Chain A
Amino acid sequence: MNRRTEPEKLTPPFTQQARSPFFSSGFLILVGGCLALFLYLVFQSESGNSDSSQPAAVEQVTENSQKAKRKELIAYLQQHPDDEFAHFQLGELIQDRAPYQALENFSHVTSRHPRYYEAVEAIAEIALEQGLPERASAALFILVREYPEERRFQKSLAQLLFAQRKYNRALRYARRNIELGGDQAEDYLLVAEILKQAGRTIEMTGPLKQALYLEPDLYAAHLNLAYAGLYSGDLETATREARWCLAKKPESTTALRYLALINRNQGNIEKSLAVINQALQIDSEDIECLLLKADLLIYQRKGAEAYALLKPLYATQQTDRRYVSALSRAAGLSGKREEALELQQLNQRLIKNEDLRPSSLQSESVQKTQAGRK
């Protein structure tokens, strides 16, 4: 361990001092009086700071006592490594300064122990703080089972699973969080964002409207609602929300892109191009905007232009299947059939890699049954 041992920090024991005239009793009384007066003045003048200085002292005392306790517990655990309560206590003591060690200690607390769920909660907390999603989710799953009515566990688990791209499970807990009383706009926004990433865009509208009811100026909700409207064909809502976003943030390339998409869906290809060019003036490297512009050019049979726009991005975008597909279409349209084929083959390889990820409808069990049985 990298901690200093207690003796290193202790003051040396009493030492013998030589006597001097300054240590006469009168002198000592005088000094004592001055010191008392000085302390009084300091106390009076810094009465505002007294709150902080006193706890600091208390803290120091506590720290010292915790150090002692830690030392004691460590020593004790060396003799009794199976004492779950000692592990729990030590975990609590060192959680802030040695989280990984604390994690280890809390892990020794088994489900038979009365402090087990406190240990699990601590594990979840530490794992979340330290970026250990697997350990955090394992702990949170235990907690949501034990405390199904405890909203914070549901929400944390939802956020965690969302970050892990486990959308269906994330959605379950995000919705449960709301059922249990989560009534912040962000609770609904979380549901909407999970639905978006899960490809269930059509279902986003409800939670987004609820989020906006709770917080009418929530920008992210407006932007997502524009997307949801665009996706589901409600172009009126999509247009209104995209314009609202642009009024708030005129430089938003995402809102501009949505406007361009709306125009494309309405068949206004030229107008769509104009809007996407406006977005590209703000950020010429916005890949989403570049892809949309290429798409529009391809539709207009301007294959060479689209190809020229996309080709320079190959080095950075070659694993993005949307990019690869767009470049392939541009190549094919401009007569580069060999390259178009190679790009489609690359796309196929990328798909194969993606297939290693579980599908949303993948069964947990596939059985083989006999014929004729219901």
Chain B
Amino acid sequence: MTGFRSSRNTIPVWLTVLFSLFGPLFFSMNGDLFAEEKQSAIAFQDVTDAAQITFQHRSPVTVQRHLHLMMGSGVGWIDFDRDGFPDLYCAQGEEWSNVERKQSQPVDIALSNRLYWNRRNSQFQDVTVASGLTVLNYSMGIAVGDYNHDGFDDLYVSAFGRNLLYCNQGDGTFSEVSSFAHVDDPGYGASCTWADLNGDGLLDLYVVNYLEIDRDHYPICSRRVDAARVYFICHPRYVPGQYDVVYLNLGNGSFLDVSQKAGLHNEPARQGLGVFAADYDQDGDMDLYVANDSVANQLWINNGQGVFTDQALVSGLAFNRTGDREAGMGLAGADYNGDSELDLLVTNYFGETNTLYRNEGALFFLDVTDETGLAAPSRARLGFGTSFLDVNNDGWEDLFVTNGHVHDRLSQLGKAEPYEQEPQLFLNLAGTRFDDVSEQSGEFFKTKQVGRGCAVADFNQDGLADLAVSHLNERLILLENRSAPIHKSIALQLVGTVSNRSAIGAVLEVTGGSRKMTRLRKGSSSYLSADEAWVTCGLGDSNAPVAVKVRWPGGKTENWTGLQPGGRYTLIEGTSVLPEQPPTQP
């Protein structure tokens, strides 16, 4: 007993000595190692099947490679039942031959756009038919916003053909009001977004149009290779562009096409694909950045009355650093470097880089793609959808890009550019550089696919941003963010009262401890896609109560303080007193 006791007593003595000598080193090493392990523990899991999402995009290629069949369709998050859980809307393609046949055929739901209701248990239910959202067309872009201020988000869907507006009835159903609302532009619609463009507190619509294609005289391109004719989709530069459209919300359920008056026709029509609305010159009104395919991008600066002038050239956003126009597919915007300015990323063609423009303030941007490590990883990819999202809640917005080519038979033309390509995830290293962590982020990132749209939402309310990714002719994938939750986030929903009810365009300044982060309540972005309305903001190391300053569209600011990390809060314009809501995040 004594011996045992004494041995028990002696061990702590030498252990104490040892610990006092090497303990700090041991712990610091462990701490570092642990931190590093945690840093790289980014994990996304494909939960599509488990979530019972069965959406399969259909856009079969033709022998003659009709161009629009290669462009794919978007994806959007819409909380149509206002339960706080975002539901998923998937845009569908269409067979070329269906143009003539569909009128006489019964509707096959597999060929329709689909609405998946989030059942809050990480499972979704297809409610397309019940919601009245069955549609057979080649759907492209998605815009989600409450245009009629009834508290329920409505849905606008651009298409290769007539665009559609669905008014949310608030009872789980939608009614198609495109004709009544006069927003059924028949052009080749691409990305579209809601934004209050004339400052009247109502959401207007901006629709990017891609190409002027006459279905009856469809441009088909080919080349003779080794005595055989090889068809490939026409280069957009050889098909005329189509003017974008601005619809002004008249407040009575209808809209007015003011595209010409808004100044959009003061320049030749361009081949637009992506759009990102924000107050770029910080003068209190909404401006628009448009990514154009193979021609100069446009930055439409608003004079406050809904009249725009293109200032992309002088702002440095028309071309890349070498003065080249790029293929402009998708757009993402975020303050990547924490200087409170909105930076922009444009996805581009194979051989080009995706281009990151750093906002220098005073409406001037610099291409910093090479310096931030984004150039080389993107050259051998053709980027489409892209989203900034803070995957590990460290307070720095990371970057997701989905890739896939538009030519599926380049090998026949002697080119070694893959059709299916892996998506990419880049970790933001404290605003200085991006590190490609795709390989370590899950099986999905090792799978070659033909990516098109992508949209961000915390669909399971676990405080981590998740992703939905649409693919051409392939399944839509739901990716659950299963990264080790080192840091907490805060989820914020904005409700405008004076400004538009969806608060699209509001800027949030989130302060947690010593960190100040700027976030934007975005309209649509990426490629043809729409993120959820809630803004999830990672808080980094801070566990201190959070202060939020909201700059509403129009410029008025409000402050909320004492918000708890991990909480979900609805901030209503004009009520800067924190509503009584307990934190819900685990």
Binding site for B on A (CB under 8 A): 168, 171-172, 175, 199-203, 230-233, 235, 261, 264-267, 269, 295, 298-299, 301, 321-322, 324-326, 328-329, 332-333, 337, 340-341, 344-345, 347-348, 350-351, 355, 359, 361-374
Contact = CB atoms under 8 A, between A and B. Distances in A.
B234 A233 contact: no
B319 A265 contact: no
Contact of B314 (A168, A261, A325, A341): A341
B376 A233 contact: yes
Given A324-B323, A371-B99, A203 B416 contact: yes
29 contacts: A172-B414, A202-B380, A203-B416, A230-B376, A231-B379, A233-B380, A261-B370, A266-B373, A299-B366, A299-B368, A321-B323, A325-B321, A333-B360, A337-B314, A341-B314, A348-B296, A350-B323, A351-B323, A359-B238, A361-B235, A363-B223, A363-B232, A364-B223, A364-B224, A365-B223, A366-B238, A368-B214, A371-B99, A372-B101
Given A364-B224, A368-B217, A371-B215, A298 B366 contact: yes
Contact of B323 (A295, A325, A341): A325
Given A265-B376, A337-B364, 17 more contacts: A200-B415, A202-B416, A269-B371, A301-B360, A321-B323, A324-B323, A341-B313, A348-B296, A351-B325, A361-B232, A363-B232, A368-B214, A369-B218, A371-B99, A371-B100, A372-B96, A372-B100
Contacts of B215: 371
Given A321-B323, A366-B234, A369-B218, A332 B351 contact: no
A243 B296 CA distance: 38
B97 interface: yes
B440 interface: no
A368 B220 CA distance: 6
B2 interface: no
Q: Which one of B101, B322, B323 has the highest number of Cβ atoms from chain A below 10 Å of its Cβ? A: B323
A328 B375 CA distance: 21
B64 A374 contact: yes
A347 B376 contact: no
Given A233-B379, A333-B366, A369 B63 contact: no
A348 B415 CA distance: 29
Interface residues of B, number: 57
A110 B63 CA distance: 40
A202 B321 contact: no
B417 to A, nearest CB: 8
B314 A344 contact: yes
A117 to B, nearest CB: 21
A267 B364 contact: no
A363 B221 contact: yes
Contact of A267 (B62, B99, B373): B373
Contacts of B416: 200, 202-203
Interface in B212-267: 214-224, 232, 234-235, 237-238
A299 B371 contact: yes
A332 B379 contact: no
Contacts of A232: 376, 379-380
Contact of B222 (A175, A364, A370, A371): A364
Given A233-B379, A299-B366, A324-B323, A267 B433 contact: yes
Interface string B100-126: 110000000000000000000000000
A332 B370 contact: no
Nearest to A268: B371
Nearest to B218: A369
Nearest to A344: B313
B186 interface: no
B371 A322 contact: no
Nearest to B415: A200
Contacts of B373: 265-267
Contacts of A350: 323
Interface in B320-342: 321-325
Q: Which one of B214, B375, B407 has the highest number of Cβ atoms from chain A below 10 Å of its Cβ? A: B375
Contacts of A347: 319, 323
Contacts of A374: 62-64, 96-97
Q: Which one of B218, B314, B324 has the highest number of Cβ atoms from chain A below 10 Å of its Cβ? A: B314
A301 B339 CA distance: 14
A202 B416 CA distance: 9
A168 B366 contact: no
A325 B319 contact: yes
